[in-house]
Amino acid sequence: MSSRSIIAGIAYFGVVFAAGFVLGGVRVTLVVPRIGETAAVALELPVMLAVSWIACRWLIGRFAVPVDRNARFVMGATAFAVLLAAEVGVSMIIFGRTIAGFVDQYRSVAGLLGLAGQLAFAAFPLVQLEV
Tens-digit pLDDT profile for residues 6-31 = 999 999 999 999 999 999 999 999 99
Torsion of CA 43, 45, 46, 50, to 10 degrees: 140
Ranges of H-type helices in the chain: 3-26, 32-35, 37-62, 69-93, 99-104, 109-127
User: Which amino acid is present at 65?
Assistant: V
Cα 69 off chain centre by: 20
Overall domain count for the chain: 1
pTM of the model: 0.92
Q: What is the pLDDT of residues 36-66, one digit of tens each?
A: 999 999 999 999 999 999 999 999 999 999 9
Q: Which domain holds residue 24?
A: 3-127
